[in-house]
Amino acid sequence: MSKRRKAARAAKAKRQQAARRADWWRHWPYFAVGGVAVALVAALFLVSTGGEPSSSEVQASYPVGYTPPTDGDESAPVEFVMWADYQCPFCGRFEAQTLPELRQRYVDTGKMKFVWRNFENYGSESQDSAVAAHCAGEQDKFWEYHDMLYVNQRGINTGAFTTSNLLRFASELGLERAPFETCLGGLGYDAVISADKKLGRSEGVNATPTFFINGEMIVGAQPTETFVDLIETALLDAADSEG
């Protein structure tokens, strides 16, 4: 292994440790309070079901033919998966401050594909906004609607994502109202939102945002440099495996 690759991997490990420690201290009040509740719920779930379902078991609960929204070249060497909620403020921070640069540097150049997964965390407005984005996807406007939701984020369950607002966003994007409204009022995508959350849990996701870069988990809206370093290391690893 070259000195460059050794240095990159050593730096990566050091940055991850520091980033996770920083993320913990930034969020510890929420973890301290929420952790107790999560532990109790998890215990009840494990008792009642005998454990979390496997990824393969969860995959069977998706509608036939469903694939998650993906931006970029399907054959890109790096897969960047984001598990998020449209009301999550840290998700919004990542979308506004970090994702545009990552898209320009890696998605637009064919080096990385960006995959979206729902991890509904905050109730009805989270659920409804996620469904609305998928409904927009039926008219080939998933990413435009996705971005509009984050631009219009106004706190958690404050009325930003009421049905009337979701319909207004669709109108502003030029979507056909009748099919969008029918889709929004139906139950077709509720199964997707539910299956995504089960799949996320089976892969260790319990907070938003959570990311996987070629399978390596990172939690929280970390600095752009953290993601760049991890992506660059993943690209080196991919090149090594091909060589």
152-198: pLDDT as tens digits: 999 999 999 999 999 999 999 999 999 999 999 998 899 999 999 99
- pLDDT tens digits, one per residue of 54-72: 666 777 779 888 999 999 9
Please state which of the four CATH numbers 3.30.43.10, 3.40.30.10, 3.40.630.30, 3.30.70.1230 is assigned to the domain occupying 55-242.
Answer: 3.40.30.10
145 class by beta-carbon count within 10 Å (0-12 exposed, 13-18 middle, 19+ buried): buried
- pLDDT tens digits, one per residue of 111-125: 999 999 999 999 999
Inform me whether the pLDDT recorded for 216 exceeds 50: yes
Residue-level pLDDT at 6: 52
Q: Which residues, 6 or more positions from 165, have their beta carbon under 8 angstroms from its beta carbon?
A: 152, 159
Both tokens of 133, joined, read 């984005």
Inform me whether the pLDDT recorded for 41 exceeds 70: no
Inform me whether the pLDDT recorded for 16 exceeds 70: no
Q: Which residues, 6 or more positions from 147, have their beta carbon under 8 angstroms from its beta carbon?
A: 95
